[in-house]
Amino acid sequence: MEVFILPIIKKITVQKRNTDRYNVFFDDGKDGQYAFSVSEDILIKYDLRKGKELDEQQLAEIFYNEEIQKAYIQAVHYLSFRMRSIKEVKEHLQEKGYEENVIQEVIGRLLNQKYLDDREFALAFVKTQINTSDKGPNVIKEGLRKKGIHPSIIDESLALFTNEEKLEKAVKLCEKQILKNKTVSTKQLSSHLRIFLVRKGFEQVTIQKAVSLALENVPDHRDEETIQIQGEKALKKYRLVPPEKRIMKVKQFLYRKGFQLADIEKFLDGIDINNHE
C-alpha cells in the first residue's frame, strides 16, 4: 500500500521587494524547499504557519483563492486610474490571462464593495462627455454600448444631456464650421453642417434647429462674394476648353457648388468669357 506524506510548512518568509507577499517553504529535511507564495490575506485566511500540514484539497483551495486575490489586486489597480464599466474590467482580466470563474469571483467582490457600478459609471461618463467634448448623444450612446452598459441605463444617463444643452453645443459647432468654410455657397454650407452634425452624433431635430439658427447670422450677400471665388476657380479649371463649351462647364461647376442659376447668370454677365484667362 502506497503511503502519501502530507507536506509540512518548514518556514514562511516575507518577500524583499513586496512585503505584502510571503514565500512558503515545505520541510525537505534540510533548510526547506520553496513551495509557493501567497498574499497576506491568504496567509491569514488559511492560518498558514510553521509546522502546519496541508493536504491536496487545502492546497487546491489556497492556489485558487490566491489566483482570485491576484486578479482582484490587478482589477483594483486598473480601477485606480479612473472609473470603469464591468465589461472593461472583465476584458482587462481576460487579457491578463485569468480564467472565467476567477474573473466572476473578482467582479462579484468589486460589486459588493461598490468599486464597480455601471449606473454610476454611465452617469459620470455622460457628464464628462457633455463638459469636455463636442460629441452628440448618439456618439455618446455608442460609446456606452461598447463599454457594455445596459440599454436602460444608457437611456437614463443620457437624460442628463438636456435639449437646451444639445442645441447650444450644436450651434457652436456650426458657427466654427461656418468660419472654416468661407468660400462655399450657403446651400453647400447648409448641407455640410447637417452632415457634420450627424457625424458628431446629434439627432435630426437638434440638427435642423441648430443649422437654421447658425445660418441666421450668415450675411445675405455671402453668395455674391463666394461665387466670385468659386467662379474664378471654374474659369481657371476650364481655361483650355473652347469658349463655346467653357461657359456651360462653368455653369455646371457653380450649380454643383450650390449656387442659384440667377446668381450664376449674374456672375457670367460680368465676365468676358473669350478674353478671360
pLDDT digits (tens, 9 = 90+) for 139-150: 999 999 999 999
Question: What number is the average pLDDT over the span 212-232?
Answer: 83
Q: What is the DSSP letter of 36?
A: E
Q: For the chain, which domains are there? A: 1-54 (2.40.50), 118-158 (1.10.10.10), 163-215 (1.10.10), 223-269 (1.10.10)
| Per-residue pLDDT tens digits for 224-235 | 778 877 878 888
Can you give the pTM of this predicted structure? 0.78
pLDDT confidence of residue 277: 53
Q: ∠ CA 152-156-160 to the nearest 5 degrees? A: 155
> The dihedral of CA 251, 252, 256, 260: what is its sign?
positive
For 148, residues 6+ apart whose C-beta sits below 8 A from its C-beta are: 85, 86, 87, 88, 90, 118
pLDDT at 2 over 70: no
Lowest mean pLDDT among 12-16, 19-23, 198-202, 218-222: 218-222
Is pLDDT at 3 greater than 70 in this prediction?
no
Locate 266 and state its grid cell: 449674374
Instruction: Kindly indicate the confidence band of residue 258, based on its pLDDT and cuts at 50, 70 and 90.
Output: confident
pLDDT at 221 over 80: no
